[in-house]
Structure 1
Amino acid sequence: MTGKVITHMTMSLDGFIADPNDDVGELFAWYDAGDTAVPTANETVGFHVDGADADLLADLTDNTGALVAGRRLFDITDGWGDQHPVGAPVVIVTHHPPDDAADRWPNTTFVDGVGSAITRAREIAGENNVIISSPTVIQQALDLDLVDEVCVSLVPVLFGEGIRYFGPLAHGHRLLSDPTVIQGRRVTHLRYVTVSRTGDA
């Protein structure tokens, strides 16, 4: 059995995952909007969410064997202290790994190119899933036809401007399945299976 490649990010109703200054604003409020405690692999991070949200998080994290992110997100989070909350090894897409990568982030793999990064993440994950959590990496992975499922945690807030979850697609429209909908508290989770590009046979 081979795992899937899944994109997952929290997004405003008008399509943004952060404001122009990389501030997520109200987007992550749902991680602390409920009574169900959800511990993570990073002892400095913990969530209290609605029961439905907890089920969604468990389904994503319990089956994740590797996470792929971009260098920008890595720098913003300082590499999650080399321990991402999802509890899986991290693969970072970058042309230039940090000079001190081996010393500061021994559990993080740095790979040049999205296709190569996802290939490496699949090797690490084995039969488990690969999660992509950076918008530019997601866009390129969709263009490369490497995404099996798109997951959006949709928050009822309008940003007006900022950094988008999705960007221009090199090969035209991408068709998705009807969504699986999970209603949480201050968030609605939408999960889509990728179907085909417009014009594909």
Structure 2
Amino acid sequence: MSDVSTGIGKVVVNRAMSLDGFIAGPGHAMDWIAEHLTADTFPEVMAATGAMLIGRGTYEVAKRMSAQGTAYDGGAQFVLTHEPPGEPDPGVTFLSCDLEEAVATARSAAGGGNLEILGADVAAQCLRRGLVDEILVYVVPVLLGDGVRFSPPGLGRIDLEPFGTTRSGAVTMLRFRVRKQARPSSG
């Protein structure tokens, strides 16, 4: 949940995961998530979210899912990309800045709510740079066997502190705080 007393939300990596550790199936398929998880499954998470920062690949997958009737509304949407699309998307702000500026921009737009980070690559970059406060994982009762792993190779060790487990139907939500570690000095 966001810290209402300070008006500053948290930066939260939020993702569904199969029991065997995949956040998307082969070909970036995510239809298996909608079979078990909707915005109503954990409404407190949706209520705490003010904005989303998404990678370009995740944006494209979400567009396909939305066209199939599976929509997810987590507030203002920001897509971090090197190549914004030729045609604007009225519901999305495309950012071509550095990661820290993108997080600050999206966090400001969250209006005191949490900034949700979606997408394996953007989440890994945020974790590497110490920009994430919490990780929420929705464990979905399915084995995919292949696909996009929860974290990409080379992420490195990130220490977490578990602080909550909630079950809704067949889905279990695990909550972790990211233990802040000293960032390596550059020089």
Q: Same fold (TM over 0.5)?
A: yes
Indicate the residue corresponding to 2:3 in structure 1.
none
Query: Which position in structure 2 is the counterpart of 1:192?
Result: 176
Secondary structure in 1 matching 2:15? strand
Partner of 1:163: 148
Q: What corresponds to 2:118 in structure 1? A: 133
The equivalent of 2:160 in structure 1 is 176
Aligned-pair distance for 1:199? 9.7
Structure 2 counterpart of 1:8: 14
How far residue 27 of structure 1 moved from its aligned partner, in angstroms, is 3.0
Q: How many Å apart are 1:87 and its aligned residue?
A: 4.5
TM-score (norm 2): 0.82
Q: Distance in 1 between matches of 2:34 and 2:28?
A: 13
Number of residue pairs the alignment of both structures matches: 173
Q: Does residue 106 in structure 1 map to residue 90 in structure 2?
A: yes
* Same amino acid, percent of matched pairs: 31
Q: Quote the RMSD (CA, aligned, Å).
A: 2.4
Q: Which aligned pairs between 1:46-61 and structure 2 lie closer than 5 A?
A: 47=38, 53=41, 56=42, 58-61=43-46
Contact 1:90 1:107 in 2 (8 A): yes
Query: Displacement, 1:178?
Result: 2.0
Residue among 75, 80, 92 paired with 2:79? 92
What is the rounded CA distance, in whole Å, between the counterparts of 2:153 and 2:118 in structure 1? 17
Unaligned stretches of 5+ residues in structure 1: 32-46
Q: Which residue of 2 aligns with 1:26?
A: 32
Paired AA for residue 25 in structure 2:
D
Does 1:72 pair with 2:50?
no
Distance in 1, Cα, partners of 2:52 & 2:152: 21
User: Once structures 1 and 2 are overlaid, which stretch shifts more, 112-121 or 128-137?
Assistant: 112-121
Whole-angstrom distance in 2 between the partners of 1:25 and 1:76: 10
Q: Give, in whole Å, the separation in 2 of the partners of 1:75 and 1:25.
A: 14
How far did residue 197 of structure 1 move? 4.1
CA shift for structure 1 position 136 = 0.8
Unaligned runs of 5+ in 2: 1-5
Letter in 2 for 1:182: T
Structure 2 SS opposite 1:127: coil
Query: TM-score with structure 1 length normalisation?
Result: 0.77
8 Å contact from structure 2 (residues 13, 116) kept in 1: yes
Query: What secondary structure, in the 3-state scheme, does the structure 1 residue paired with 2:136 have?
Result: strand
Distance 1:194 1:150 in 2: 7
Determine if contact 1:9/1:153 at 8 Å carries over to the other structure: yes
Distance 1:65 1:7 in 2: 13
SS at match of 1:8: strand
Is the contact between residue 173 and residue 198 of structure 1 (CA under 8 Å) also seen in structure 2? no
Provide the residue aligned with 1:41 in structure 2.
Answer: none
User: What displacement does 1:125 show?
Assistant: 1.1
**Cα distance between partner residues in 1 of 2:39 and 2:132:** 29
2: CA distance, partners of 1:196 / 1:175: 8
Whether the 8 Å CA contact 2:162–2:174 is kept in 1: the answer is no
* CA distance, structure 2, for counterparts of residue 72 and residue 106 of structure 1: 18
Please say which of residues 70-79 and 13-22 is displaced more in the overlay.
70-79
